[in-house]
Amino acid sequence: MPLTITPETARFQQDVKLGRVLVVEDEELIRETIALALTEEGYEVFTAEDGRKGLEFLSSRTGESSHGEAVVFDLIILDLMLPYVNGLDLCRLIRHEGDSVPILMLSAKGTETDRVVGLEVGADDYLTKPFGMRELIARCRALLRRHRRSQLQTQESTLRFHEIVLYPQECRVTIRGEEVNLSPKEFRILELFMSHPRRVWSREQLIERIWGPTLWETAKRSMFTFAGCAKS
């Protein structure tokens, strides 16, 4: 039975931009049913029938959207028991590459141990077969909301000054896209400057903010060294 667009779904589509979903499932009926349900909800859906095909989608980005552009997935629905490359290994590979895309793992194995293993290798949620399409869609919505909220928080906390980008939560800095190695004190000084770009700081204020009042003499020597390196 085709899923109808409920008032709740309509409000959700207004609040959250629906994204692209990759469904990696070897059972054709389940794969096509999920794809149909998500498509009717407004998602752009791509399917893979085994782990190797799913890995090709993710590693080479050979897929194209309906507009002909390279695919970046917003959500992956991943079956646990897949031919060639199983769901656990595929999930590990995705996380090893540093990809934080939300992953919903599907499996007929519903024991606590199976669920824990799936979550520990990097899945964000675990759904046991058989399941209803309404529950699957609700879980997809929840995963996308959490992920987008996290992305917004990261973007809001990022500091930028020309080609310098500072990520406070990750304690890293890039210049023209290249990562720069800074000591903890150097990072805190740069963060302070970028957080207050128009403020003029005295040496005493900087030392008190970064080192604390008890490390005055040591901090003065370090400050002179840092200033000399910055000038060079």
| Whether residues 109 and 198 fall in one domain | no
DSSP labels, 39-59: HHHT-EEEEESSHHHHHHHHH
At 147, list the tokens. Answer: 């992920």
Q: Which CATH number belongs to the domain containing residue 207 in this structure? A: 1.10.10.10
29, 49 contact by CB (below 8 A): no
Q: How far apart are CA 144 and CA 41, in angstroms?
A: 14
Give the dihedral sign, CA 11/15/19/25. Answer: negative
Q: What is the chain's pLDDT, residue by residue, as a tens digit (232 residues)? A: 334 444 454 444 444 447 899 999 999 999 999 999 999 999 999 999 999 999 888 876 545 544 445 568 899 999 999 999 999 999 998 888 878 899 999 998 878 888 888 898 899 999 999 999 999 999 999 999 888 887 776 556 788 888 898 888 778 899 988 888 988 888 888 988 888 888 888 877 887 777 765 555 555 555 555 554 554 4
Closest CA to 94 of 69, 112, 121: 121
Q: How far apart are CA 186 and CA 193, in angstroms?
A: 11
Residue with tokens 């840092």: 226
121, 90 contact by CB (below 8 A): no
77, 107 contact by CB (below 8 A): no
> According to DSSP H, which parts of 107-210 are helical?
112-120, 133-157, 184-195, 203-210
Q: What is the pTM of this model?
A: 0.60
At 154, list the tokens. Answer: 């990261």
| Whether residues 114 and 182 fall in one domain | no
Give the dihedral sign, CA 152/39/125/51. Answer: negative
Domain boundary pick from 124, 156, 188? 156
Does the residue 2 lie in any domain? Answer: no
| Whether residues 94 and 191 fall in one domain | no
Number of domains composing the chain: 2
Does the residue 1 lie in any domain? Answer: no
Residue with tokens 């740069």: 190
| Whether residues 147 and 79 fall in one domain | yes
Q: Which domain holds residue 182?
A: 159-231
